Amino acid sequence: MKNELKLLIIMRHGERTDRVGEIPKCGILNPELTEKGTTQSLLASKLTLETIKKYGLEELSPNMIQIRTSPYIRTIQTAVRILKGFNIFFKEKNNENILNDIHIDFDLRKRIKPNKKIKKNEFLYKTVDSYINFDQELKGINYLGDKGEFSLEAESKEQCEKRSFNYVETNLKKNIEKNNDKKIFIIIGHRGVLKYILKKFGYKLTDKKILDYCSQFFFDITKGLDNAIFLENILKPNLD
């Protein structure tokens, strides 16, 4: 019998350079992944696949999966490593097709605090095209959706919450409803925004450590986003 289950996976990006003392090449407001962050992302892909199989979705194909991400470089880099991890699985299964699309959603962008003064040298790259030239592994991917220059306007927590809620109600809901062939929807973003998206689905984040690098939250959305059921939370991959 065909498994009708649909999953929504909400994931934070991998470790960022500025939090471990490295100097970000893209500017301190748009840091890239560390080497550890890249490894975390690839391992997260493996954990995602293992969890998906646990729920009975073993006969996966690339056209069943959709990856959506914030326009910042660390989230796109994470998304690409997730994609590459899935493709290793597909090649092992001798699948002729690969997963090659990543959707960029500006409404998943990081919140800029109202007291944050933006200087040009703090934010060198803010378009997807710039990232492609910066990171060789980002080339050859089909980027869909928003690809131009994204907003750097400051937001209050209330404004960010409203944006996050609106994203779920409009962009995400529309794309899930019109893509009936998709079984897996992966959303990759930043802790601040994902906290509100989780709140929208009724999940109260009691400890911010639960939303650590590459942590994942699985929801059953078989009956639509309005009837999403929380399944489980997987903490960041253990690299010890």
Mean pLDDT of the chain: 91
Report how far residue 200's alpha carbon sits from residue 194's, in angstroms, rounded to the nearest whole number.
10
pLDDT band at 239 (very low <50, low <70, confident <90, very high): low
SS (H, E, C) 52-86: HHHCCCCCCCHHHEEEEECCCHHHHHHHHHHHHHH
> Taking the CA atoms of the chain, what radius of gyration do you get in angstroms?
17
Higher pLDDT, 75 or 151: 75
Q: Which amino acid is at 104?
A: I
236 has pLDDT over 80: no
122 has pLDDT over 80: no
Q: Which of 16, 78, 73 is nearest to 48 (CA)?
A: 78
pLDDT, position 211: 92
209 has pLDDT over 60: yes
pLDDT, position 1: 42
CATH of 7-234, one of 3.40.50.300, 3.30.450.20, 3.90.1420.10, 3.40.50.1240: 3.40.50.1240
pLDDT band at 29 (very low <50, low <70, confident <90, very high): confident
Please state the rounded mean pLDDT for residues 37-52. Answer: 94
Please state the rounded mean pLDDT for residues 152-179. Answer: 95
Query: Quick one: CA dihedral 31, 35, 36, 39, positive or negative?
Result: positive
**Residue 31 Cα to chain centre, angstroms:** 16
**Contacts with 172 (C-beta within 8 Å, 6 or more apart), sequence order:** 68, 185, 187, 225
Domain boundaries, the chain: 7-234
Q: Which of 200, 202, 204, 215 is nearest to 170 (CA)?
A: 200
What pTM, to 2 d.p., does this model score?
0.94
